[in-house]
Structure 1
């Protein structure tokens, strides 16, 4: 199976630990087949798929150039959400509150990847942090109850780094940073 690559916003360790604690509470009530390792928490900005070395080097230079003047900025965790069927979601995630800087930066990064020759998903950007996959409960899932169980505090953090990650399927953690860009 091919290795895949993606650009993502790196989360601070203390936010990863907080999300992990919330996730531990959630999966007691709502089991999932795969719970992500806290080191794998991130906000995907562009999924590239497989790429040879020359294409990776080209896209790294392009993304580094478009993010060269970007400065760090604050984000805040938002509510728990899910993708897929309401009673049996395939993805459980936590979001971040709307922040125009994140959308602006993602748009620049996305354009640089397209210019490098990648065919990217055209769905609108929905910033989220995947925490679990494939609901595995006997009773139906309830997003409303999950949000009550999670009871996310207002957690602010600084977005200070974007990374190109490589997937290692079957490993835990599954993602490895292979290139990083520090925001000013």
Structure 2
């Protein structure tokens, strides 16, 4: 099962990011319902490993903190590949990421060693933005440098299944883990 752990964003922030996407007339936009902050991409995992991870994540605790987005940035210097909402003051988020990696490792899920740069992807360019797209992207970044929505409290981590489909993947929440340890109410 193809899965990842993430912070789901509230609908109000997704709406604000979608409005900014409307200003970005280039790239493949991430559908608003798919906007999230990935903490760990788990790739394909057997159900037994996910169950062991579930047990480990049920004990996950973290002090309250908030996500603060400020402006946008890109990955890929000469030919940008990704446009993302940038985050400030990510110390507590980095700590949460370390705790999650540790629990994944304890459950036998080996994650690639890579630098973690927390972000919310809003658009992608397959092999990279071309010269015209790069100029338009520079105008978008400059025009949205002051974008700073309200801080978002982080209360839980979500285990998502990623179901690949034609246009965009479908993300289905499998489990939610409250950082304060209270049970998650799930009406389903």
Q: TM-score, normalised by structure 2?
A: 0.84
Structure 1 residue aligned with 2:75: 83
| Higher RCO by CA contacts (8 Å cutoff, separation 6 or greater) | 1
Q: 1:39 to 1:140 in 2, by over 3 A?
A: closer
Deviation beyond 4 Å, 4+ runs, structure 1: 135-138
Q: Work out the CA distance in 1 between the residues paired with 2:155 and 2:115.
A: 23
Deviation per CA, 1:81-116: give whole Å up to 9, x if none: 111243x32211112112321111110011110121
Alignment of 1:83-162 (within 5 A): 83-86=75-78, 88-134=79-125, 139-142=132-135, 144-150=138-144, 151-162=146-157
| 1:51 equivalent among 27, 31, 45 | 45
Cα deviation, residue 155, structure 1: 2.8
Q: Which runs of 5+ in 1 are unaligned?
A: none
Cα RMSD of the aligned pairs, angstroms, is 1.9
From 62, 72, 79, give the equivalent of 1:70: 62
- Alpha-carbon distance, 1:24 to partner: 1.1
Q: What secondary structure sits across from 1:9 in the alignment?
A: strand
